[in-house]
Amino acid sequence: MPKVLISDKMDPKAAQIFRERGVEVDEITGKTPEELKAIIGQYDGLAIRSSTKVTKDILEHATNLKVVGRAGIGVDNVDIPAASAKGVVVMNTPFGNSITTAEHAIALMFALARQLPEADASTQAGKWEKNRFMGVELTSKTLGLIGAGNIGSIVADRALGLRMKVVAFDPFLTPERALEMGVEKVTLDELLARADFITLHTPLTDQTRNILSAENLAKTKKGVRIINCARGGLIDEDALKAGLDSGHIGGAALDVFKVEPAKESPLFGTPNFISTPHLGASTTEAQVNVAIQVAEQLADFLVSGGVTNALNMPSLTAEEAPKLKPYMALAEKLGSLVGQLSHGAVTGIAIEAEGAAAALNLKPITGAVLAGFMRVHSDTVNMVNAPFLAKERGLDVREVRHDREGDYHTLVRVTVTTADGERSVAGTLFGDQAPRLVELFGIKVEADLAGPMLYVVNEDAPGFIGRLGTTLGEAGVNIGTFHLGRRSAGGEAVLLLSVDEAVDAGLLGKVKALPGVKTAMGLVF
């Protein structure tokens, strides 16, 4: 039974879902990093919010960890490169609190437009300063979206309902998607010059850090009002303070800060400034939604292999996983085979699919091939970290689909490129379940790939099989299965034998010494 740790406070429905799905779960919150390191090795999964910091140090102690699930969008508290290198899947729940966060941005926009916090404080202080608080309408104003993803698109929809004009800057926004959203796609400089209100809905990356810098804030329309419910660090807070003090910026509302918890800030006390303590996702509905989603995603992964909203590997639905499982087993065996048989530096690897395989999601199949291939070099490699390790080594990875009809109803071919040229192996599934090798370096051969095996390339000549059998028999090695293929009569032949125990170096030397043997290797699957 897989075991999950919930290390941050989470709605009780998360633990309930884990138990219903057959996953053992412990709810242990508030642990220090040292305390977490002491227990993390017991768990296959870790469910967190924002408090737990999943650092490289924590991951090094997580000997059994397979997946981390963040109940929420931001994963700033997870070292994703370290998790990927460790082979740990990192998931988030990008949709569970989208509406809540978008509504908070809209609420802050209204609050800025009508100076609601200051008007409330003034009125409750016994003043009646009706003429002091002269607001502005949102109707017909231009809203500038920096980031037009899931949350940004919801904000745009709500703003259009308020009869606002919406312009959006997002490098990944296509013209078609902009048309569908009803927004105008613009450059950042155009947005800064035109927007009456600006809202930010982008993750914090090297490209977006201080996207509203002093230089960019100076390009904004005089009187602009700025709202940030995304991530601290997107705005230069000192420059924002200067803009508010000068009157160039008409108002600002921040739900997030560069340093949190924000116990002090140069912005506090500034007129026309509103702050909230990272409340974007803080509604009852959102808290329940993200807890349910993270539990369902982790349970799917640990029970059936489904991968949803992963940040470091391709998604694989719980429905796809059973169908792809035998293909991934085949792919891993083919990758392992070429990895063990390849001599010299491999510069490229191609994964080709034809027949039924061509209609499948190839990303998991590619990950399985790379995991099998690279396991020759590392015993900690898996589908998650294999693509990253391949990239580190400069390996050129290609995926190819063929719609042609072949000899088999489904076929996966793996080809490696070395200084000596290309070499390929191919396999199929018998009964849609059983992996079977059908081609080895251009030679037709049918073989199971399981356990210890002996691989021999020899000249096709009478008596060779008898001599090989005698050599193995004299060494006390029993043959399980025997698979033979050849290019032509009297030409080059390939033998794959499954044996009950691995062939040691001494016996391998005797096999290599047999007349006609060109190559002999021990393989393990």
Task: Say if CB 136 and CB 111 are below 8 A apart.
Answer: no
Residues 6+ positions from 331 with CB-CB distance below 8 Å: 351, 365, 366, 368, 369, 372, 412, 414
Map tokens 């016994």 to a residue.
126
Q: Are 189 and 201 in contact (CB under 8 A)?
A: no
Q: Which of 251, 273, 255, 306 is nearest to 151 (CA)?
A: 255
Active-site residue, from 158, 201, 225, 231: 231
**Terminal-to-terminal C-alpha distance of the chain:** 25
The 3-state secondary structure of 168-193, one letter per residue = EECCCCCHHHHHHHCCEECCHHHHHH
What span, in angstroms and rounded, lies between the C-alpha atoms of 165 and 155? Answer: 12
Q: Is 27 exposed, middle or buried (0-12, 13-18, 19+ CB in 10 A)?
A: middle
Query: Which listed residue (260, 392, 399, 501) is catalytic?
Result: 260
Q: Residue 260 catalytic?
A: yes
Three-class SS state of 428 = strand
Sheet holding 346-355, edge to edge: 396-402, 346-355, 410-418, 421-430, 434-440, 443-447
Question: Exactly one of 278, 413, 423, 436 is catalytic; which is it?
Answer: 278
Q: Do the beta carbons of residue 357 and residue 411 sit within 8 Å?
A: yes
- Give the span between the Cα atoms of 199 and 253, in whole angstroms: 10
Nearest-angstrom CA–CA distance, 337 and 437: 10
**Which residues are part of the catalytic machinery?**
231, 260, 278
